[in-house]
Structures are given as structure tokens and as C-alpha cells.
Amino acid sequence: MNEIGKKLKEMRVGKNIDIDTVAKATNISAKTILKNEQGYYTPELRLVFQLSRYYQASLIDIYGANVLKKKLNTAFWVYLIAFLFFNFILLTLDVFDICCFAIAFVSSLNAILLNMHIRKEYKIPNPIQHYLGNLFNICIYALLGLLLMFSIIYVFYNYLMIHPYLTIILTILFIAVVIFDLNMYYRKVASD
């Protein structure tokens, strides 16, 4: 049994809650909770975060401060590299691949927002903030945002010339999905 699964089981048993109750309250399947508690899986950060909220426990209590910081820092670099890779791929896609890209982008956006939320809640700076300061961190995020914005504008402008109506429809759908996703995320954070 892994340590995280063991701690999650101790929290659930300590609060005298059965797996089905936890599954219904968190929208995580009972089978997934059981397999994680038994050590068959190493729980994802997202799952542990949800369960820690339900058990009213701290992620630091579950992981330990150093392990949590290491997990968040690893995720930060993975997301940063993935973001740059997404920008490169975006410039090489055709119109129909944009839909697949949008789905991958929105799921990555969820992971990035969760990482940022945990960092803010536990006051853990990302590696850029830690080593170079907050101002440089803001500049990096602004440059990455501009890079993404210009990449999207470039791609959609090119496709607008080829397939104008399809591009307008896809743009509206993409914006609607991102707004819906952000809205759901912030509602969930506010309710927690």
C-alpha cells in the first residue's frame, strides 16, 4: 500500500465515513477510491485535492510540505513545456485538427488552474517566482499569454481566408467551451 492511499483511508475511517458516501459527495467512483486506498494506484493530485477538501484536511498533511512542493514544481515545468508545445503544434494544424487541439487545450487549462489554485492556497511559489521574483514571473506569464494569443490569431486568420464560415463557428464554439470551463472551475472553487 502506498503512503498516500494509506493516509486517505485513515482519514475516511477516522471520520467513520463509508466509501459510497465519499463517492457520491465527490463524484469519484467508489472503485477508484478503493483502488487508491489499497495502493493499486498512485492517486493523482486532482483526486487527492478533492478528497482532502471533502475530509477537511490539508494537502500538506497528506503529502508533506516538501513532497507537495516537488509535485507542484514538476507539474509546473510539464505544463510550461506542454504550453510551448501546444503553441508550436497550433501553428501547424489544419482547421479540423483545431477541434482536437481545443479539447486538449481545455483539459490542460484545467490542470494548470488546479496547480495555480493549490499554489495560491498553500502559498507555494512556482520555480520562476522562487528563483527570479514575482515581477519576472508576471512578465513570463504575460509573454506566454501574448504568444498564445498571437498564435491563435495567426491560425484563425489563415483559416478565415480558406474556410470563413467554418472558422467563425469553430471560434465561437472554442470561446464558449473555454468560458464554460472557466466558469465551472471558479464555481467549484467558490463552493469549496
The answer to whether 23 touches 86, Cβ cutoff 8 Å, is: no
Q: 109: closest CA among 175, 33, 41, 49?
A: 175
Residue range(s) occupied by CATH 1.10.260.40 in the chain: 3-62
Residues 171-180 have a mean pLDDT of 76
Predicted pLDDT at 137 = 77
Q: 76: closest CA among 9, 140, 139?
A: 140
Predicted pLDDT at 28 = 86
Sign of the CA dihedral 23, 26, 32, 37? negative
Instruction: Return the biggest CA–CA distance within the chain.
Output: 62
The answer to whether 28 touches 22, Cβ cutoff 8 Å, is: yes
What architecture (CATH level 2) is domain 3-62? Answer: Orthogonal Bundle (1.10)
What confidence category does residue 51 fall into, taking pLDDT thresholds of 50, 70 and 90?
confident
CA pair distance 102, 81, nearest whole angstrom: 17
Predicted pLDDT at 103 = 65
Long-range contacts of 57-62 (CB under 8 A, 24+ apart): 57/11, 58/122, 59/118, 59/122, 60/122, 61/7, 62/4, 62/7, 62/8, 62/11
Burial 144-153 (b: 16+ CB within 10 A, else e): eeeebeebbe
